[in-house]
């Protein structure tokens, strides 16, 4: 009997699944977008119920397309964009919308932590900056603004942790995700610091059980098998953060390896084992040898999302052509951008549509179009946005 592996990934704008063989060759791939919700300024959410519905559709589609039977899938794992936060009750059901990595509502909680605990003390423990709104500050926001809902929270999970819980019935997180809880996560000892949690008033019981990325954390339950088409008992691994998944797939496995990717965010990473963490950047666990290997990452928060914003907000003609003719709207925008010269004839775009991560770490940063002239076309705007993202990633 042939043996295959199933992988799932959740970005900020959509989910994908694939089946590979034991040599890493892709047999089938499927993708589906989901809405990004911005109900208030600084808020960025998803409907978490869509996560599981889409997972079931994508996995079923991949098995059909690859003509792979359930018993031939010998393992499953999930990755997701971080920080993200899915709050579930004791039955594992979401309490309300999930946070995605662009959410910046917890500004008051960030300031409270700076004044009462200290950003330096928190970074010393977690190697994670408050300005990136790690999951614990969002739990503090829930406690302060939606106390009734907060009391219903049984566990705080990432998107991939939520999918893993739906597959296995267990509430877990992996070492690369744990860093994105920040504040009270002890990155060196791989645990949540109870003294810090007590200091900030967050219950340790809300934290998931932590595992190495490659560790098997459970098996597909009979109910999950019924919904997904997988076989009950299929092993499920702990998983990894989405950028790690991309970098690992690109061949980054050794200390010193460097990889780059552009999704909703734009970033690159350098694998290392040093514990001299750099305050200006992001530091979190890497998938390979996740107990003592880290990756140092500069990142811009609205990389590919800036292009999606142009598509969704200003490209109705391209979207209509996609619906009517099946031509991808992004490709139509690319054609227009190719007609603009390098430098977009002086048009400059700052792609800070939801604040910015490194190097400026400013939640209040906003986008800017500078140098607009009557000779500029939509193609200039698309190209200038792409150039702005590239500059923000590598500055």
- 278/337 same-domain check: no
Same domain, 336 and 255: no
Q: What is the pLDDT of residue 131?
A: 92
Could you say which of 218, 245, 272 is where a domain stops?
Answer: 245
Per the document, the length of the chain is 395
Q: Look up the domain containing 255 and give its range.
A: 251-300
pLDDT at 21: 95
Per-residue model confidence (pLDDT) at position 264: 84
pLDDT digits (tens, 9 = 90+) for 12-71: 999 999 999 999 999 999 999 999 999 999 999 999 999 999 999 999 999 999 999 999
pLDDT value at residue 395 = 64
Query: Do 375 and 240 have their domain in common?
Result: no
In tens, the pLDDT along 374-389 reads 999 999 999 999 999 9
Is there a single domain that holds both residue 151 and residue 227? Answer: yes
pLDDT of residue 393 exceeding 80, the answer is no
Determine the average pLDDT of the residues in 187-199. 98
Helix (H, G, I), strand (E, B) or coil at 87: strand
d(CA 238, CA 66): 24
| 188: number of Cβ within 10 Å | 12
Please tell me the total count of domains within the chain: 3
Angle at Cα 55 formed by Cα 52 and Cα 58, nearest 5°? 155
Check: CB of residue 339 under 8 Å from CB of residue 393: no
> Would you state the pLDDT for residue 265?
87
- CATH, residue 167: 3.30.420.40
What is d(CA 234, CA 218) in angstroms, rounded to the nearest whole number? 8
| pLDDT tens per residue, range 322-344 | 999 999 999 999 999 999 999 99
Q: What is the pLDDT of residues 139-163, one digit of tens each?
A: 999 999 999 999 999 999 999 999 9
- Tokens coding 166: 């739906």
* pLDDT value of position 359: 84
Residues 139, 121 share a domain: yes
pLDDT tens digits along 345-362: 999 999 999 999 888 899
pLDDT at residue 197, rounded to an integer:
98
Containing 185, the helix (H) or strand (E) segment is strand 185-186
Q: What is the pLDDT of residue 45?
A: 98
> Within this chain, do residues 65 and 201 fall inside the same structural domain, yes or no?
yes
Whether 283 and 219 map to the same domain: the answer is: no
CA neighbor of 160 nearest in space, from 235, 239, 53: 239
Q: Measure the N-to-C terminal CA separation of the chain; round to a whole number of Å.
A: 50
Angle between helices 48-66 and 159-168 (to 10 degrees): 70
- What confidence score (pLDDT) does residue 267 get? 87
Q: Indicate the residue among 220, 245, 270 that finishes a domain.
A: 245
Question: Does 93 lie in the same domain as 179?
Answer: yes
Residues 279 and 154 occupy one common structural domain:
no
Last residue of a domain, one of 210, 225, 245: 245
Residues 78 and 115 both lie in one domain: yes
Q: Residue 164: is its pLDDT beyond 90?
A: yes
Residues 158 and 290 in one domain: no
Mean pLDDT (whole number) for 97-126: 97
User: What mean pLDDT comes out for the span 225-241?
Assistant: 98
**Could you report the per-residue pLDDT of 249-297, keeping only the tens digit for each?**
999 999 999 998 888 888 889 999 999 999 988 999 999 999 999 999 9
Mean pLDDT computed over every residue of the chain: 95
Q: Is the pLDDT of residue 172 over 90?
A: yes
Residue with tokens 């989405």, as numbered in its chain: 242
392 vs 20 pLDDT, higher one: 20
In the predicted model, what is the mean pLDDT of residues 171-200?
98
CA distance 243 to 256: 16
191 shares its domain with 258: no
């Amino acid at each position: 009997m042939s043996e295959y592996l199933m992988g799932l990934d959740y970005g900020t704008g959509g989910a994908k699944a694939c089946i590979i063989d034991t040599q890493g060759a892709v047999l089938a791939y499927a993708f589906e977008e989901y809405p990004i919700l911005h109900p208030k300024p600084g808020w960025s959410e998803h409907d978490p119920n869509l996560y599981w519905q889409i997972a079931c559709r994508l996995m079923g589609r991949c098995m059909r397309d690859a003509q792979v039977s359930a018993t031939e899938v010998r393992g499953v794992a999930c990755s997701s964009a971080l920080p993200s936060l899915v709050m579930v009750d004791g039955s594992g059901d979401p309490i309300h919308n999930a946070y995605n990595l662009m959410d910046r509502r917890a500004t008051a909680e960030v300031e409270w932590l700076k004044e009462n605990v200290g950003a330096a003390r928190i970074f010393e423990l977690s190697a994670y900056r408050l300005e990136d709104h790690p999951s614990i500050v969002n739990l503090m926001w829930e406690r302060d603004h939606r106390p009734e809902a907060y009391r219903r929270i049984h566990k705080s999970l990432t998107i991939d942790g939520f999918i893993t819980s739906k597959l296995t019935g267990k509430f877990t997180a992996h070492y690369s995700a744990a860093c994105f809880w920040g504040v009270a996560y002890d990155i060196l000892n791989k645990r949540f610091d109870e003294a810090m949690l007590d200091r900030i008033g967050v219950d340790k019981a809300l934290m998931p059980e932590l595992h190495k990325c490659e560790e098997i954390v459970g098996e597909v339950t009979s109910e999950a098998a019924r919904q997904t088409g997988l076989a009950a008992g299929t092993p499920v691994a702990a998983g990894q953060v989405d950028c790690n998944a991309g970098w690992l797939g690109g061949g980054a496995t050794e200390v010193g390896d460097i990889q780059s990717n552009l999704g909703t965010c734009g970033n690159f990473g350098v694998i290392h084992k040093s514990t001299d963490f750099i305050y200006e950047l992001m530091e979190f666990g890497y998938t390979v040898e996740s107990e003592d290997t880290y990756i140092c990452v500069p990142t811009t928060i609205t990389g590919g999302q800036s292009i999606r914003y142009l598509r969704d907000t200003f490209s109705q003609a391209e979207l209509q052509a996609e619906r009517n003719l099946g031509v991808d709207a992004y490709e139509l925008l690319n054609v227009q951008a190719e007609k603009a010269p390098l430098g977009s004839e002086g048009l400059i775009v700052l792609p800070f549509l939801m604040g910015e991560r490194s190097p400026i770490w400013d939640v209040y940063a906003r986008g800017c179009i500078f140098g607009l002239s009557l000779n500029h076309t939509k193609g200039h705007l698309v190209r200038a946005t792409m150039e702005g993202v590239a500059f923000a990633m590598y500055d």
